[in-house]
Amino acid sequence: MDTTFEIPDPSDWLSTALPEIAPLESSLRCQVCKDFFDTPMMTSCSHTFCSLCIRKCLSSDGKCPACRSGDQASKLRQNWAVQEAVDAFTASRKTMMNMARRQSTQDTLNCPAEDEIQGRRGIKRKRDIGMSRDDEGADRRQTRSQSRRNPQHTSIPIGSGEPITIPDSEDSDYTPEPAMPRSSESTNTPDMLVPCPICGKRMKEEYVFSHLDNCTAPTDTHGALTTNTASMSRPTKNQPANTVARTLNSPRDLALQPIAQLNYSLLKDSAFRTKLSELGIPNWGPRQLLIRRHTEWVNIYNANCDSSRPRLKKDLLRELDVWERTQGGQSLRGTAGSNSDVSKKDFDKDVWRDKNKSQFESLVADARERAMKAKTSREALDKEKDGHDALDSRAVIADSQSPEEMEDTDAQRSPSYPENRNLNAHSAETSGLEQNHLSLMEETSQAEGDSIKKPPLLDLPHEPVADVEQTETSI
């Protein structure tokens, strides 16, 4: 009920009247992310994980997380049966939980009438869920009712006859979950009519198929056609397969093709960057970050291709952006240290600082000296530009000086860094060089203007850095 901020967990069931559901729920959850399966995929060793989870695992060490046998992302296959089970379970979980909780708070002597009421209530709620969840699921409703009506009716009297065994009988009734929500819909419809999946007109079940042959009101041509063929070719039974056929068709028709993985070691830097921009993802940053970003993107994108409910590319890009800010950005810092033995994952500030203290100190001294020189030779404009370069390289050195300083420079840089790039890409598309040249001129004239007053050392490098790359990208 008021479970808005509650995170569902299999252990929720343990305190209710249906503790047996707990293992059922755990089996519907991915072992990697511990959440309900999202686009479950089966490995060649027959283990099932979320598409994104298993892709991440495979791209990080190429082994099945459960049994450690080697596998490849290209060998993954969808496990639609599990998807169906998860969908049905999550749709009815709340209702089941409410019932189970209420049951446990009641005394063991609960009267059958009450039980029946509860059952009805549950059914109604489920119907609401089913309705809102997919409006074009009409074909399922209609056919479900034929095949499943009887068990639904019989189960309640059995339960009410023996009050003590009710939890068990309900349990066994619930385990084949997919049947419940849809079956209840048409049984509870008072007029026993079902809507046409194409035009939505309500009619008796027997007439639906003949009506479908000459129904002329396709509201959504694509969806209607696929449902139509699906329900025609698979009458009454095999309903899960039916819905799968429908959901399966749509992504394939939209030609969502998985992206191929790249052999990064064979790709030159520039070719790699072009590749990334072709894919429509950011292509800035050091090579290592590019690789990580591309891997992540391939994972996200291909997982989306597997999904029965694919999202828009816009959403995927947002997800990549989140990754960039939470995990990807780290690699930037790691590689900014640009020492080959500092691999991103294992970087440990304290140890690194202790170990390289003397080097850092000499670098700092060195950089200060050079900064002084740069300051003295800033009169002429061209010299001033040199100064920028020097400053720029200085900033890079500063990155490697000590972890604290690293963070400082990062903090200064990171907010403006991606923005600059975005701006670059944008302006390159729209107004080309013009704008930049303007900004460059502005910049230089400003610098000329206040050549007496020194600008802050770490502030200035942004613009020249951006400009250099601007010219690269726009050419």
**Residue numbers at the binding site for other proteins (CB under 8 A):** 31-34, 53, 56-57, 60, 63, 65-66, 68, 326-327, 330, 345-346, 348, 350-351, 354
Q: Nearer to other proteins by C-beta: 330 or 414?
A: 330
Q: Nearer to other proteins by C-beta: 8 or 112?
A: 8
Query: Counting Cβ atoms within 10 Å, is residue 391 exposed (0-12), middle (13-18) or buried (19+)?
Result: buried
d(CA 64, CA 71): 6
CB of 267 to other proteins, least distance (A): 24
Give the residue among 382, 405, 404, 391 at the shortest CA–CA distance from 458.
391
Q: Nearer to other proteins by C-beta: 68 or 75?
A: 68
Q: Which residue has the tokens 């993985």?
A: 261
CB of 416 to other proteins, least distance (A): 23
Q: Nearer to other proteins by C-beta: 322 or 441?
A: 322
CB of 32 to other proteins, least distance (A): 4
Give the residue among 330, 323, 356, 363 at the shortest CA–CA distance from 345.
330
Exposure string of 37-48, with b = 16+ CB inside 10 Å and e = fewer, is bbbbbbbeeebb
Q: Nearer to other proteins by C-beta: 49 or 80?
A: 49
CB of 29 to other proteins, least distance (A): 11
Give the residue among 246, 251, 252 at the shortest CA–CA distance from 231.
246
Q: At what angle do helices 80-105 and 112-133 cross, to 10 degrees?
A: 140
381: three-class secondary structure by DSSP:
helix
CB of 355 to other proteins, least distance (A): 8
Q: Nearer to other proteins by C-beta: 191 or 350?
A: 350
Q: HSE (CB half, 13 Å, CA atoms) of 131?
A: 12
CB of 56 to other proteins, least distance (A): 6
CB of 57 to other proteins, least distance (A): 5
Structure tokens at 99: 């019932």
CB of 195 to other proteins, least distance (A): 44
What amino acid occupies position 206? Answer: E
CB 46 within 8 A of CB 130: no
Give the residue among 318, 450, 309, 475 at the shortest CA–CA distance from 381.
450
CB of 281 to other proteins, least distance (A): 20
Q: Nearer to other proteins by C-beta: 320 or 374?
A: 320
Q: Nearer to other proteins by C-beta: 26 or 98?
A: 26
Q: Nearer to other proteins by C-beta: 35 or 205?
A: 35
Q: Nearer to other proteins by C-beta: 65 or 240?
A: 65
Q: Nearer to other proteins by C-beta: 63 or 370?
A: 63
Give DSSP secondary structure letters for 21-80: HHHHHHHTB-TTT-SBPSSEEE-TTS-EEEHHHHHHHHHHHSB-TTT--B--GGG-EE-H
Q: Nearer to other proteins by C-beta: 86 or 391?
A: 86
Q: At what angle do helices 329-336 and 287-306 cross, to 10 degrees?
A: 160
447: three-class secondary structure by DSSP:
helix
R_g of the chain computed on alpha carbons: 31
Plot region of 68 (φ>0 → left; ψ -120 to 50 → alpha; else → beta)? left
Structure tokens at 152: 């639904």
CB of 65 to other proteins, least distance (A): 4
CB 103 within 8 A of CB 97: no
CB of 59 to other proteins, least distance (A): 9
d(CA 345, CA 341): 11
CB of 347 to other proteins, least distance (A): 9
Q: Nearer to other proteins by C-beta: 57 or 428?
A: 57
Helices (H), 106-189: 112-133, 138-161, 166-174, 179-188
CB of 258 to other proteins, least distance (A): 21
